[in-house]
Amino acid sequence: MSDPVSSFAINFVAIFGGVLLLLLVSVLVLALVIYQLDKHQTHHAIRRNYPLVGRFRYWFEHLGEFLRQYFFAMDREEMPFNRAQRSWVYRAAKNLDNTVAFGSSRDLRVPGTYYFLNCPFPTLKEDAAPSRPLVIGAGCRQPYRAASFFNISGMSYGALSRVAVESLAAGARQAGCWMNTGEGGVSPFHLQAGCDIVYQIGTAKYGVRDEEGLLCDAKLREKAALEQVKMFEIKLSQGAKPGKGGILPAEKVSAEIAAIRGIPEGQASISPNRHPDIASIDDLLDMLMRVREVSGKPCGFKLVLGTTDWLDEFCAAIIRRGAESAPDFITLDSSDGGTGAAPMPLMDSVGLPLKESLPLLVNKLQANGLRDRIRIVASGKLINPTDVAAAICMGADFVVSARGFMFSLGCIQALQCNKNTCPTGITTHQPELQRGLVAADKAQRVASYHQHIVHEVEMIAHSCGVTEPRGLDRQHAAIVLEGGRSVPLNILYPQD
């Protein structure tokens, strides 16, 4: 009589071997079928010339965007943000030591590189002053006393997941900064933590629109009645896609998002490429005054500068109508902005970068006596202390960042923002991916990132001999030009 254990083992091996053989035969048959399909199809040259093997090209191409940042790119090589930039944000968000050793890895000869011009007698700690709050819209019924010079830029609920919005809102509350809603309107997730809110009115006027898609005063009053809503921002254009409206794919338009925006569920949410009721400078100024009058709160606009001839006419129109007609603030976005889905030609090739447009805008307002009336908010790829401090040197009163705060949530630059497949749960509505974000933990990281930005911009200011960041101006920084030589900003962009 045979041993039962031995019999079981023999039977198991036989069954396992049979299954393995069947699997192997199936794989071979499938490979043969694919080989024949590839060899006789007429659409892809690589697959036709190299059947089956050619398919690996597409797989490697897909994996490449994930693997480059870990294995192949140097610290300062990647775009849109390199490893050194991302690593600084990650460490700041985790409240880890951000010092480096043995010298900078930054190539200081690259055109566009900023230097800060330190003085021989920097500001002592006991002489330093915290960054002061700044009032926006002093002439409004409800002006806004903004506590922080660094704030969260516009990112819509819909483009971002629920838990990402919750995390950012709670982090903004801890940090004492504002959070911009993006053009998708205000959601319960923006409000639940109690942070200050800037309500963005995009070209589709989500949340404050009537049935024809035009501004509804009654809905505007309803939003203005929310104590947390401190300002309104009319979006003319954004850095990712100047000249085109927002794009939210149909798979992201849930019933909840549709209700918040006032649009049909399950249909792609495509905003007009401009406000239908703003076709001129006077239309813009009329809309600003209408929103300010209805809401009682400061109102400004956001844009990317391209052509600049119209700025003289803009300033002349304000002077003609009176200073009260001016925007309370202008948010100047850069051509290298990038959150949201956008066509590549617009993302790559339209609009001026901030380092050119910001000093130009500030000079125009100053030359027309409007600089003290209008606050300037700088936006666009400003995620590290160097770029934030440089924007302040060029004349910004405030700086806002979107992607910096996304990195603080754990964004890995997977470039899946427009596909509802974000692996970190930040820009997807798939519950199994959203579970990677824990709002309580991420809110603290948002606040820590903000704290480190503020602290290190203050450190740059002190090295230049001023007591707080807004004491910085163009004489405190230089920029590298072609040929590797640097020029102080006050010489490159002189002010009257």
Domain membership of residue 16 as a residue range: 4-81
Looking at residue 65, its pLDDT comes to 58
Compute how many other C-beta atoms are within 10 angstroms of the C-beta atom of residue 146.
25
Assigned domain for 101 exists: no
Q: With H, G, I as helix, E, B as strand and everything else as coil, classify residue 81.
A: coil
Residues 228 and 355 reside in one and the same domain: yes
- pLDDT for the residue 57: 66
Specify the pLDDT at position 324. Answer: 95
Same domain, 76 and 137: no
Tell whether 86 is covered by a domain.
no
pLDDT of residue 104: 73
Shared domain check, 289 and 163: yes
Question: Is the model more confident about 371 or about 5?
Answer: 371
Instruction: Determine the distance from the C-alpha atom of residue 418 to the mean position of all C-alpha atoms in its chain, rounded to a whole number.
Output: 14
**Bigger pLDDT: 495 vs 473:** 473
- Domain stop point among 23, 48, 81: 81
Q: SS3 of 385, please? A: helix
**CB neighbour burial string for 461-473, b if at least 16 within 10 angstroms, e if fewer:** bbebbbbbbbbbb
Q: Which amino acid is at 368?
A: N
* Alpha helix (H) residue ranges in 322-384: 344-349, 354-367
Report yes or no on 46 lying in a domain: yes
* Tokens encoding 293: 């009058």
Distance CA 174, CA 450 (A): 10
In a domain, 129, yes or no: yes
pLDDT above 70 for 165: yes
Residues 230 and 297 sit within 8 Å (Cβ to Cβ): yes
Rounded to the nearest integer, the mean pLDDT of the chain is 87
3-class DSSP state of 112: coil
pLDDT at 157: 87
Query: Residue 351 has which token pair?
Result: 């609009």
Using alpha carbons only, give the angle 482, 487, 489 rounded to the nearest 5 degrees: 120
Same domain, 74 and 143: no
pLDDT at 345: 67
Last residue of a domain, one of 25, 47, 81: 81
Query: Is residue 254 situated within a structural domain?
Result: yes
Q: Rounded to whole angstroms, how far apart are CA atoms 93 and 451?
A: 9
Which of 17, 50, 81 is the last residue before a domain boundary?
A: 81
Is residue 451 situated within a structural domain? yes
Do 292 and 159 fall into the same domain? yes
User: Based on the domain organization, do 28 and 155 belong to the same domain?
Assistant: no
**Backbone phi, psi, residue 469, to 5°:** -55, -40
Residue 283 to residue 224: CA distance in whole angstroms = 22
The per-residue pLDDT for range 313-362, each reduced to its tens digit, is 999 999 999 999 999 999 999 877 665 666 666 666 677 899 999 999 99
**Cα-Cα-Cα-Cα dihedral sign, residues 473, 474, 478, 482:** positive
Residue 345: Cβ within 10 Å count: 11
Could you tell me if 77 and 149 lie in one domain?
no
Q: What pLDDT, on a 0 to 100 scale, did the predictor assign at position 196?
A: 97
Residue percentage of the chain with pLDDT more than 90: 52
Residue 1 pLDDT level (bands cut at 50, 70, 90): very low
Number of domains in the chain: 2
Does the residue 284 lie in any domain?
A: yes
Residues 399/150, Cβ–Cβ less than 8 Å: yes
Q: Can you read off the two tokens belonging to residue 171?
A: 């982090």
pLDDT tens sequence across 116-148: 999 999 999 899 998 899 999 999 999 999 999
Q: Are residues 10 and 144 in the same domain?
A: no
Same domain as 47, residue 131: no
* In a shared domain, residues 30 and 138: no
356 and 238 within one domain: yes
28-42, 198-212, 230-244: range with highest mean pLDDT: 198-212
The CATH number given to whatever domain includes residue 335 is 3.20.20.70
Work out the average pLDDT over 472-487.
94
CA–CA dist 107, 76 (Å, integer): 8
What pLDDT score was predicted for residue 66? 59
Residues 389 and 250 in one domain: yes
pLDDT score of 2:
53
In percent, how much of the chain has pLDDT > 70? 88
Q: Is residue 34 one of the residues assigned to a domain?
A: yes
